[in-house]
Amino acid sequence: MRIERTGAATAKAVITGNELRRAGLTASDLLNGSAAALPLISEMAEKAFPEGGRQRISVEIYPAKWGGCFFIMTRNRSAERLCKMIITAYSADSIIELCRRISELRISCPESSLVGGKDHLRLIACLPEEMLLLEGSFETRIVPADDNTLAKLSEHDRTIIPKNAVALLAKLSHGTGCGSHIALEEI
């Protein structure tokens, strides 16, 4: 059995026909969700996500021509509590790096937006609460958003990217130093 993490919330695995036979199972036991196959599937999920905790893991199983199976396991992040946050950065590099980190964690933020003023950028996004712990890691200030704060932002800051800002910024290449400062001033 070979298990490989492909992301913070995803993993893939392969089990050969010989390994199935040694476990007293067949590919069809796995594909049909047989009770005898559940311990093996649970073991694979525990090895794929050893950090544990209360989480739901969905497992997709595909038969292989050589008698084994391929598995794709996804940890369900929907159980995490999301809250709207305002992330303020004073350089484009900081906001881009944070967006890359969010993207690496496979956190979907389709309603995220980027706003800015003369000397700052603000990312507004619904993120898991533990993202508040990243404050300072990317030279940013992260605070929960409330209606009053969002109203003040709409009065003073200009919208730069109205939707899906995290995905767009995570894909940007960027320089350092003066280039970021100039780009920020041009926005």
Domain shared by 26 and 112, yes or no: no
Tell me the average pLDDT across 29-51: 85
Domain shared by 11 and 103, yes or no: no
Would you state the pLDDT for residue 185? 40
Q: Domain end: 53, 76, 99, which one?
A: 76
Distance separating alpha carbons of residues 47 and 164, to the nearest angstrom: 33
- Please work out, in degrees rounded to the nearest 5, the angle formed at the alpha carbon of residue 59 by the alpha carbons of 25 and 26: 15
- Please work out, in degrees rounded to the nearest 5, the angle formed at the alpha carbon of residue 18 by the alpha carbons of 17 and 22: 120
Q: Domain end: 42, 76, 110, which one?
A: 76
Q: Which domain holds residue 8?
A: 2-76
Q: Report whether 69 contacts 2 (CB < 8 A).
A: no
What does the DSSP assignment read for 48-69?
A: H-TT-SS-EEEEEEEE-TTS-E
Query: 76-122: per-residue pLDDT in tens?
Result: 655 557 789 999 988 888 888 888 888 887 788 888 999 998 888 99
Q: Quick check: pTM over 0.85?
A: no
Distance separating alpha carbons of residues 146 and 84, to the nearest angstrom: 8
